Amino acid sequence: MRIGQGYDAHRFTAGRRLVLGGVEIEHDRGLAAHSDGDVLIHALCDALLGAAGQGDIGRHFPDGSAEFKDIDSRILLRRVVDLLHGRGLRVHNVDTTIVAQAPRLAPHIPIMRERLASDLRVPESRVNVKATTTEGMGFAGRGEGVASYAVALLAEQDL
């Protein structure tokens, strides 16, 4: 068994769509990023890569590369899973937390879990997504951006 953790944060910006956990969410601003800015998937990719001892998302998908400009982060997640499988590793389970004052995320969590489970090639029961606020504290609490944490457990064979 191998465990990894990941973190990502992006600031809000006008003129972009908000994508979290592979789901487009109605909001007046999106997240500034080279890709689609999906902080949940970025943190998850870092957790998976960390568990595999394979660096981080920036090493595999550099933000200076035109290839990854505005890319759907689900594509990146699928590539990370392919890398893991190529090394004989499988996702056992993941646990994630999105930190945002707004918008309200609870209604979107079931579809996030469904999409993440599909991309990770695991049952939904092995994918957890939580959302929390910081009660007005810090950059997320002031509505300046969104952060996400992820923990992933990998196995050398499917359990």
To the question of pTM greater than 0.85 for the whole model, the response is: yes
Average the pLDDT over 78-101 and give the result. Answer: 97
In order of 9, 53, 83, 128, the CA distances from 101 in angstroms are 13, 33, 34, 20
Q: What is the pLDDT of residue 157?
A: 76
Cα–Cα distance for residue pair 106/90, rounded to 1 Å: 28
Q: What is the pLDDT of residue 71?
A: 84
Phi (first) and psi of residue 96, to 5 degrees:
-130, 155
Average the pLDDT over 94-113 and give the result. Answer: 97
**Per residue in 21-77, pLDDT tens?**
999 999 999 999 998 999 999 999 999 999 999 999 989 887 887 787 878 999 999
Which helix (H) or strand (E) element contains residue 6? strand 2-13
Structure-model confidence comparison of residues 92 and 67, the more confident one: 92
**Per residue in 119-147, pLDDT tens?**
999 999 999 999 999 999 999 999 999 99
- Cβ–Cβ < 8 Å for 14, 32: no
Structure-model confidence comparison of residues 70 and 103, the more confident one: 103
Pairing of strands 30-31, 2-13: antiparallel
Q: What is the pLDDT of residue 158?
A: 52
Q: How far is CA 157 from the centre of its chain?
A: 23
The single-letter DSSP state of residue 121 is T
Cis bond leading into 103, ω under 30°? yes
Average the pLDDT over 78-84 and give the result. Answer: 97
Q: What is the pLDDT of residue 64?
A: 80
> Three-class SS of residue 90?
strand
**HSE-CB of 144 using CA atoms within 13 angstroms:** 9
- Determine the CATH number of domain 2-155: 3.30.1330.50
Contacts of 35 (CB under 8 A, 6+ apart): 42, 61, 63, 68, 69, 70, 71, 72, 73, 76
Q: What is the pLDDT of residue 113?
A: 98
Which helix (H) or strand (E) element contains residue 25? strand 23-25
Q: Is the pLDDT of residue 153 over 90?
A: yes
